[in-house]
Every structure is written in structure tokens, then in C-alpha cells.
């Protein structure tokens, strides 16, 4: 299967990394693991990935406890590959994603980037999309469904 939408169409939605992070922050709220306060304040203006809990004086990553935990890759790679997986799962629910989309076709669609990065993202997201865990399902719907929906509309699927 050819990729259903191009990486370029995702770049039109999120022209820079910060746009993607903003989208993620709107969709996914971060809570302090200690006092459960919803965190909104960035630790530093320059780093939107770290939030600060004024109660506990703790710093928490917006990616903590998610599949993005520890990633240094551009969030747009994640959003793109996740949107592809979501799209495939929607139209071919019974078929394994690996049979529909290969790492190779995704790598080609994204263009020049590290093989290792794409491989890691692919593996992590494949697992997420195969998971039957309730929270994983919520996360998929929250993050990747809206991206896939926007891309499908802009590209006419």
C-alpha cells in the first residue's frame, strides 16, 4: 500500500516543531504525578516540553508516561506515522499494520532522516496500535485521530 497522505501535507498543518508540540499540549493534559495538579506553566519559555508544578516545585515532561517518553525526534514524525497507522486501522481494521505499510515506504515518504529514528517510532507506535489497553486507545484517539482526520480531508480521502 502506498502511503495515503504525504509528509508534506503534514508539514502544511504543522510548519514547525513548535506547532506540533502546541497541538499535542492542547490534546493531552499533563498532571503532576505527586499532587495531581494539572500543569500549565512551562519551566522555561524556551523549552515547551517541561512543565513546572508550583505546589511540589517539580519539573515534569509533557511526554512523561506516554509513548513519546524520552524521544528526541521531531514530534511531527510521530504524528505522521501515528496518523498513517490510524488511517490504516480505520479502513482495514482486521489487517496488521505491518502488512499495509512498511517502514521502507514510510521512510521514503518522510525523506532524508535517520533510519534508526524511524525504526524506533514505527516499533513503538505499532505496539501502541496493536494494544487493547483502554488508556492506549484513549491516547490514540486523542492524538492521532485528529491528525489523520485533517490529513484525510486536505488530501481528499
Q: Which of residues 104-123 bind Zn ion (CB under 5 A)?
A: none
Interface with Zn ion includes 130 (CB under 5 A)? no
Neighbours of 145 (CB within 10 A): 17
Interface with Zn ion includes 34 (CB under 5 A)? yes
Which of 55, 24, 22 minimizes the C-alpha distance to 38? 55
Cell numbers at 86, concatenated: 490510524
Interface with Zn ion includes 29 (CB under 5 A)? no
Nearer to Zn ion, 55 or 65 (CB): 55
Interface with Zn ion includes 56 (CB under 5 A)? yes
Which of the stretches 32-40, 67-75, 78-86, 124-132 binds Zn ion when contact is defined by CB under 5 A? 32-40
CA 90 to chain CA centroid, nearest Å: 17
Minimal distance in Å, beta carbon 7 to Zn ion?
A: 38
Q: Tell me if residue 63 falls in helix, strand or coil.
A: coil
Distance from C-alpha of 85 to C-alpha of 95, rounded to nearest angstrom: 11
Cell numbers at 99, concatenated: 502488512
Distance from C-alpha of 138 to C-alpha of 49, rounded to nearest angstrom: 21
Which of the stretches 31-39, 75-83, 131-139, 148-156 binds Zn ion when contact is defined by CB under 5 A? 31-39
Which of the stretches 16-24, 34-42, 66-74, 140-148 binds Zn ion when contact is defined by CB under 5 A? 34-42
Binding site residues, Zn ion, CB under 5 A: 32, 34-35, 53, 55-56
Amino acid at each position: 500500500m502506498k502511503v495515503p497522505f504525504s509528509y508534506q501535507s503534514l508539514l502544511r498543518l504543522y510548519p514547525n516543531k513548535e506547532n506540533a508540540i502546541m497541538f499535542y499540549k492542547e490534546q493531552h493534559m499533563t498532571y503532576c504525578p505527586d499532587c495531581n495538579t494539572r500543569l500549565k506553566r512551562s519551566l522555561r519559555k524556551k523549552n515547551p516540553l517541561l512543565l513546572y508544578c508550583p505546589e511540589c516545585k517539580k519539573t515534569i515532561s509533557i511526554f512523561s508516561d506516554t509513548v513519546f517518553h524520552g524521544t528526541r525526534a521531531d514530534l511531527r514524525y510521530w504524528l505522521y506515522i501515528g496518523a498513517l497507522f490510524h488511517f490504516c486501522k480505520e479502513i482495514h481494521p482486521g489487517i496488521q499494520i505491518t502488512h499495509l505499510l512498511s517502514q521502507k515506504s514510510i521512510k521514503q515518504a518522510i525523506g532524508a532522516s535517520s533510519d534508526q529514528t524511524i525504526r524506533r517510532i514505527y516499533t513503538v507506535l505499532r505496539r501502541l496500535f496493536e494494544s487493547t489497553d483502554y488508556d492506549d486507545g484513549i491516547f490514540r484517539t486523542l492524538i492521532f485521530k485528529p491528525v489523520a482526520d485533517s490529513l484525510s480531508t486536505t488530501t481528499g480521502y
